[in-house]
Structure 1
Amino acid sequence: MTDLYLVRHGETEWSKSGQHTSVTDLELTPHGVEQATSLRSRLDASEFGLILSSPRRRALHTAELAGFSDPEITEDLAEWNYGDYEGLTSQQIRQQHHGWRIWFNGCPGGESADDVRARLTRIVARVRASGVDKAICFGHGHASRVLALCWLDFPIIFGQSFPLQVASVSIMGREKESWAVIRWNS
């Protein structure tokens, strides 16, 4: 069975401020560089048979600093496209749309929850079919949460219960006959 490691990119100015960042291609902050570099002591690239990354600079730079110099880039790991909400904080969005939550309301001008789930389900299928012991995906907050939900075959609204810290490592796998969260936000 393959274990799937999920790594969220290090801190950016917008992750620090809580701004929704999908297509805006931001660099890591100096602290984000430190966070990503510290992953090197916890992850050994030689242990992974499948290494995938979002095409966004923040994910690729995190992978590189963590010791994964040549990940396969896939658009399927890109962050949820926030459309009209790109660059806004949840508080700013809720001033216009009271009670808004991405898991229930989506993003006008961006991707639907079904679209995000479809592309991350492709990642799950690829990882499960790979036959490797360990796979790793360098990605983003919301998309990585959806990836975990696809692994578990949970409804997308459960994403609200799986907050994901910057530069964290989470591991998906199996517990006996069930798909499972092995570790979260480590």
Structure 2
Amino acid sequence: MSRQLWLLRHGATEWALDGRHTGITDLPLLPEGEAEARALAEVLGQQHFAAVFSSPLQRARRTCELAGLGEQMQINEDIVEWNYGDYEGITTSTIRETVPKWTVWSHGCPNGEDAQQVEVRCVRAINTALAVLEAGDVALFAHGHILRALAGTWLGLGACGGQLLPLGTATVSILGWERDIRAIQRWNAPAKRVA
């Protein structure tokens, strides 16, 4: 199959720049995050998408709109960011003061989600995308950890495979196939390098 799944992380927010875990807190884009999202429009304007899905959170929706795909946007609850529970708004270094060697991938989040729960959502999101991929490429506007987990799931590594895939704000990543095997076509590319 030559169709591709485009993963688009939202632009910068205050907490993204501070390194704080931002799950369900519905933060807006910063002005520089809006500029990052607009930069995606040049790349995405050259593509045709059979479907465009976005997380319900405003930072993802606004990125989709500024990238020029707002009219096609459908909300998909499965690609909302990881629920960090008690760790919402806290940095990894602060968490490690009480839980040494903590990672979202290995320990999960008290009163939030762990990798297995996130993987269930990733499988559903992938199945939703696959249902329309035959008609054309699919775009997903979402968040750092969920998109990394989704890519790990796509590759057969499970959600925890995402720990191997760093992802910057307002970047383009493309999942596809290599000789009928699921593969990464492009990863963590700033919009200016994709064109």
Give the match for residue 164 of structure 2.
161
The 5-angstrom pairing of residues 3-82 of structure 1 reads 3-44=4-45, 47-70=48-71, 71-82=73-84
Shift of 1:123: 1.1
**Partner in structure 2 of residue 172 of structure 1:** 175
TM-score by length of 1: 0.97
Report the number of matched residues. 186
- Counterpart secondary structure, 2:97: helix
Q: State the AA in 2 paired with 1:39.
A: L
Which of 117, 120, 145 is the matching residue for 1:118?
Answer: 120
- CA drift of 1:44 comes to 2.0
**Partners of 2:176 and 2:135 in 1: how far apart?**
12
Q: Which residue of 2 aligns with 1:109?
A: 111
State the distance in 2 between where 1:52 and 1:104 align.
28
TM-score by length of 2: 0.92
Deviations 1:52-83 (A, max 9, x none): 00000000000000001131001101000000
User: What is the identity percentage for the equivalent residue pairs of Structure 1 and Structure 2?
Assistant: 44
5+ residue gaps, structure 2 = 190-195
What is the one-letter code of the residue matched to 1:37? Answer: R
Q: What is the aligned partner in structure 1 of residue 193 from structure 2?
A: none
**1:133: how far off?**
2.1
Provide the residue aligned with 2:192 in structure 1.
none
Question: How far did residue 127 of structure 1 move?
Answer: 1.3
Q: Offset of 1:153 from its aligned partner?
A: 1.3
* Structure-to-structure mapping, 1:87-98, within 5 angstroms: 87-98=89-100
Gaps of 5+ in 1: none
Distance of 2:105 and 2:164 partners within structure 1: 10
Q: Is the 8 A contact 1:45 1:67 kept in 2?
A: no
Please identify runs of 4+ aligned residues in structure 1 that moved more than 6 A. Answer: none
Bigger mean CA offset, 15-24 vs 40-49:
40-49
**Secondary structure at the residue paired with 2:138?**
strand
Conserved? CA contact 1:76–1:123, under 8 Å: yes
Cα offset, 1:168, TM superposition: 0.2
1:180/1:144 Cα in 2 relative to 1: closer, same or farther (>3 Å)? Answer: same
In the other structure, the counterpart of 2:187 is: 184
Post-superposition offset of 1:46: 6.0
Offset at 1:51?
Answer: 0.5
Q: Contact between 1:10 and 1:33, CA under 8 Å: does it hold in 2? A: yes
1:127 & 1:74 partners in 2: Cα distance?
10
Q: 2:142 is matched with which residue?
A: 139
User: What is the CA–CA distance in structure 1 between the aligned matches of 2:19 and 2:47, rounded to whole Å?
Assistant: 34
